[in-house]
Amino acid sequence: MIKLKTPITEEKIRSLKVGDVVSLSGVFITARDAAHKYMIDEWLDKEPRGEDAELRAILGPLLDGGVIYHCGPVVRQDEKGKWHFVAAGPTTSAREEPYQHRVIGQLGVRAVIGKGGMGEMTLDACVKHGAVYLHAVGGAASLIAQQVVEVEDVYKTEFGLPEAFWRIRVEDFQCVVTMDSHGESLHKKVLQDSRKRYEEIFGA
């Protein structure tokens, strides 16, 4: 088990290889479809102004060397207005493939957590900029939520609570490196092996 704490250095990320099991502690930012599109449209494709600039000033330093978690949490709010994660399972990462390489390259993200893997653009960004894709266990949303020790804040709730940016503090969040900074992708290998096996069986 390799223990890492945010912010994570490029040196530590480049020491990781596909198959490594890691335990993460520190601050994560959740981001799904709406959040990724927002980062591209409002932060990277133009100079942010007003509230957009204020939000980038808050989240930018956390993303630089930080972790994005592809997660649409189930949340509750207590009587004091404090948010808590009830379920925090990973969502399918492939939807963020059009955006992720730019978010990694221009915002300095070191790790992306999700399920199902990502494509060549993201893998190339991992190699070029020093990042990894980490696979979290699907179907364990309630268990994963126990690793969220505090919800520090939430932004862009107008996107809907699952699509908002959640700033969370985690302890001992365990996942597996399935895409590394050396160009290796377990997802790509499994797909290639599956196609080969299919051809052997069906003669395609």
Catalytic site residues? Answer: 36
- 3-state DSSP assignment of residue 133: strand
On the 0-12 / 13-18 / 19+ scale of CB atoms within 10 A, 28 is buried
CB atoms within 10 A of CB 89: 20
Tell me if 35 sits within 8 A of 43, measured CB to CB: no
Max distance between CA atoms of the chain, in angstroms, equals 63
Two tokens, residue 184 = 């290796």
* Nearest C-alpha neighbor of 10 from the set 128, 138, 110: 110
Q: How far apart are CA 45 and CA 161, in angstroms?
A: 25
